Each structure stands twice: as structure tokens, then as C-alpha cells.
Amino acid sequence: MASYQMLVKDVIKRADILLEVIDARFPDETRNNEVERDVARSKKPLIIVLNKCDLVSKEKLEETKSRLSKIAPTVFVSGKNRFGTTMLRHKILETAGIKGREILVGSLGYPNTGKSSVINGVAGKHKTGTSPISGYTKVLQLVNAGSRIMFIDTPGVIPFGENDEYIQGLLSVKDATSLKDPIGVAMKIIEKLCAENKTALESFYHITIGGQDSYDALILIGKQCNFLKKKGEVDDTRAAVRIINDWQKGLLVI
């Protein structure tokens, strides 16, 4: 992890202002307290960007924005749909408070929180490569977004000491093929959706979940998708991979 620590410190040192891009579905899990402390020590301004806002209800977004705004200016955007990116551009110019020269903006966050998509949205053009697979950005890239804004796009910053595979699956840090326990991760996804938006889960897979636990719900989804083995048993691993892929592609909404 030393290389990531060096990367973060280098970006903070070079930038005039920092963006922490977090997943609006998991605002607390995708914040990196160590990175935030490093930015605070540098005395440089920070903006929190709640990305993937199209996957979260307006009520939840407003509650999260209100809470995080006490820490730093907070903007919610959808890098995918380019919603909120004009507001983010204005917030960068306002918060940086720099006149007469280019503003260097450091972009930091977990793998696959959508940093490159946010940058493309602000730039108004496809300036950087993006992928639904985590870790797509491998090296630092300078991206000219116009109006005196220059981004430093970075590889995802994995929280130091993070070893929880379930969290990594939920946050799309690891895709389904890289998980040792895809069934367990899929059950976590089902539990979260049942707690926050069960109707959306039922509607997406055309099922009805009664008093079943998360594994029973996974089996229901497997049956509905016709993921059956030779003896008619549900292929629970195949069903789990489907659920994880749907989640990580943003098809399941909280």
C-alpha cells in the first residue's frame, strides 16, 4: 500500500483543490478518512462528490448531502448521465478561489467510484478511459476540462488495510470473477436492497419476496432466470454472479 500512499501525497501536493469521489449508495463506506486527514493537513480545499446519484432516491441523496456538507462542500452528480457536472464545475471555481491561472484539480477515491466518468462529465467530452471493472485507470493522467480547470485523474485509492471481500464486492472494488465467495456477496446485496428498496429488487427480477432469507431470495432469482443444473436444482453460484454483475453495472437501484 506504500505506493498508494505516495500517490495520494503526490496528488495532494500538486493540486490546488481536491475532489473525493464517493459512491452515493455507500457514502460512508467509500469515504477514506486517511485521505481526508491528509488533505486537511495540506490546508487545501476539498469537495466531496456523491457520484452515481441516479442509483439513489432523492430523499437519501439530500440527507447524505446535508450530513457531509458539514465536513466539506458536497455536490451530487451522475457521471454516467452527466447530471450535476455543471454545478460541480462552478463549485470547483468557487471553492478554489484562484484567479488568472489554471486550476489543478486532484481526483481521489476508491476504485470504480466513477472518477473518470465525473471528469468526462465536467469536461463535456470523452477525455479519459472508463470501465465498469475496477482499477481501469492505472497511471496519473492530466485532463484539460476547459475554463481553466485541469484534472489529475488517478488510479483508485484502496483504503489502507481494507481486506473485507464483502465490502469490496458491494463497492465494485472486485468483480464477480475475482471474489472467493460470490454467493455471500450476492446475499449482502440482496439484504441491502431488501432493507432499502425491496420493491425495486422484486420488480427487476419479477419475483415476490415474503419472509424468505437472503439465500432463499437468491434461489428465487436463480429459478426466475432459469439457472438450473441437470437435476433441476438452482445453480446458486451462477445466480450470485448474475446479481453481482447487475449490481455493479448499476441496474439495481436503492
pLDDT category, 214, cuts 50, 70, 90?
very high
Residues 40 and 145 in one domain: yes
- The answer to whether residue 160 sits within a structural domain is no
Q: Per-residue pLDDT averaged across 112-118, rounded?
A: 83
Residues 95 and 52 in one domain: yes
pLDDT of residue 102: 92
Residues 7 and 94 in one domain: yes
153 Cβ contact partners less than 8 Å away, ≥ 6 residues apart: 107, 115, 116, 119, 128, 137, 140, 141, 142, 143
Element (H, E) at 7: helix 2-14
Residues 148 and 194 in one domain: no
Q: Does the CA dihedral 21-26-29-33 come out positive or negative?
A: positive
How many angstroms separate the Cα of 168 from the Cα of each of 105, 120, 184? Answer: 27, 25, 12
In 10 A of CB 84, how many CB atoms?
Answer: 22
Task: Flag whether pLDDT at 128 surpasses 60.
Answer: no
- The answer to whether residue 254 sits within a structural domain is no
- What is the tally of helices (H) and strands (E) in the chain? 9, 6
Q: Per-residue pLDDT averaged across 175-192, rounded?
A: 90
Q: Print the domain residue range for 100.
A: 2-153
Residues 51 and 119 in one domain: yes
pLDDT category, 182, cuts 50, 70, 90?
very high
Domain boundary at 122, 153, 184, which?
A: 153
Q: How far apart are CA 108 and CA 105, in angstroms?
A: 10
The pLDDT tens digits for 34-56 are 889 999 999 999 999 999 888 88
Write the CATH number for 215.
Answer: 1.10.1580
Residues 121 and 188 in one domain: no
How many domains would you assign to the chain? 2
Query: 3-state SS string over 199-225?
Result: HHHHHHHCCCCCCCCHHHHHHHHHHHC
Domain boundary at 125, 153, 181, which?
A: 153
pLDDT category, 167, cuts 50, 70, 90?
confident
- The answer to whether residue 158 sits within a structural domain is no
pLDDT of residue 224: 94
Domain boundary at 86, 120, 153, which?
A: 153
Distance of CA 194 to the CA centre of its chain: 20
Task: Flag whether pLDDT at 186 surpasses 90.
Answer: yes
- The answer to whether residue 233 sits within a structural domain is yes
Query: Using alpha carbons only, what angle is made at residue 103 by residues 42 and 16, rounded to the nearest 5 degrees?
Result: 0
